Amino acid sequence: MHTRSTHVIIDSRALRSNIKLLKDHLSAHTEIMAMVKANAYGHGIIECSRIAIEEGIKYLGIAFASEGVQLREAGIHASLLLMTPPEPEELDSIIQYDIETIICNVDTIKRLSEKAEKHHKTVNIHLFIDTGMHRDGVYPEEALAMAQLIVSSPGLHLKGLCTHFATADSVDTSFMEEQLHIFEQCLDTLSDHDIKPALIHVGNSAAMIRMPENIGTLARPGLSMYGYSPIPNTFNEIKPVLQLHSAVMSIRRLKKGESVSYGRSFIAEKDTTIATIPIGYGDGLFRGLSGKLHCIIQGTLFPVVGNICMDECMVDIGDIAIAIGTKVTFIGENGQAHQSAEDLAAILHTIPYEITTAISARVPRIIV
């Protein structure tokens, strides 16, 4: 039971439908690893993980060991893959909570091997190749030596080989194709030395959409699973999973010339009515949206005016009679009107990932 009028609705049917659509889009030999890092892109890591598992997902992708600990302590037993290079402080948790991890350097291999051997455990490793993203990974020319080191290290098992595309969502696919070629060369080199990891994965949502037949044995959908395509006008069957609602908390009449909020950035040009809504940048409603955002009340778009505060924002409802407690929608449907995370992202010249992941933990998530 939620305790705030400000809350997120997670549409479980939409999430299940999106997972099924992604599965149908992929080759039979490719399984899905549901990316649930960053609180499942703001959608609720525990709840979304459970739904994904119910839909047959066997792998969950995380960014930090603490997320894996959270999942394990919630009773989730699916395979977990840490997709950022582990920090020294995370190695004990990786072993204790049975978390698979990418590896990018010799020091981590040695440390993890020592710890795994000490605890009589085997850690599954995915060797990450830097094919052009230049964020994480080993250089292609180092791949064979690193793979051989992992294979020969006690307590470690080389289970996967992976990379990440820098431009999979771009119209020009030439750089992605170049990255794929480099990765395939590494794969061939390892195979020539009888090193054949069971899992091969390169495909985020955009790559999955562009080349479903050529992304390996494991796909890594993130935002597409939650209802947004990273490539405009493609994969339109998926549906947004998240809605963000609040309610009118108070109403006051403003006279012409009076102002609203910090800095007096909004001054009424005529007598009007201001509704205060209990949601602000402390909830993830960016202050940068001030003076640019609309919300939906009773199927009508109304402007958010003045500077968005930490816990509240104000809406100019004009002369419309609206009762305290009336539903207010920032993301989702309300009557005949609709607003998406993409709409908010467009205002800020950013991506919907940033909008959904910014919704803070103090906003209750309700599964329907």
CA atoms within 13 A on the CB side of 310: 1
Nearest C-alpha neighbor of 57 from the set 83, 96, 18: 18
CATH topology for the 242-367 domain: Lyase, Ornithine Decarboxylase; Chain A, domain 1 (2.40.37)
- Per-residue pLDDT, 131: 96
d(C-alpha 225, C-alpha 48), whole Å: 10
Query: Which residues, listed in sequence order, are joined to residue 277 by a DSSP beta bridge?
Result: 313
- Per-residue pLDDT, 2: 61
Q: How confident is the model at residue 98 (pLDDT cuts 50, 70, 90)?
A: very high
- Per-residue pLDDT, 142: 97
d(C-alpha 308, C-alpha 300), whole Å: 20
User: Residue 168 in contact with residue 234, Cβ under 8 Å?
Assistant: no
For strands 199-201 and 31-35, give the pairing: unpaired
Amino acid symbol at 132? G
Q: Quick one: 156 exposed, middle or buried, by C-beta within 10 A (0-12, 13-18, 19+)?
A: buried
Structural domain spans, the chain = 12-226, 242-367
Q: What percent of the chain has pLDDT over 70?
A: 99
Query: Residue 95 phi/psi, 5° resolution?
Result: -75, -50
Q: How confident is the model at residue 259 (pLDDT cuts 50, 70, 90)?
A: very high
CATH number assigned to the domain covering 12-226: 3.20.20.10
Which helix (H) or strand (E) is 37 found in, with range?
A: helix 37-42
User: Residue 99 in contact with residue 65, Cβ under 8 Å?
Assistant: yes
- Per-residue pLDDT, 3: 78
Query: Per-residue pLDDT for 1 more than 60?
Result: no
- Per-residue pLDDT, 348: 97
d(C-alpha 64, C-alpha 86), whole Å: 7
> Which residues are marked as active site?
37, 262
pTM, two decimal places: 0.93
Q: How confident is the model at residue 114 (pLDDT cuts 50, 70, 90)?
A: very high
Average pLDDT, the chain: 96
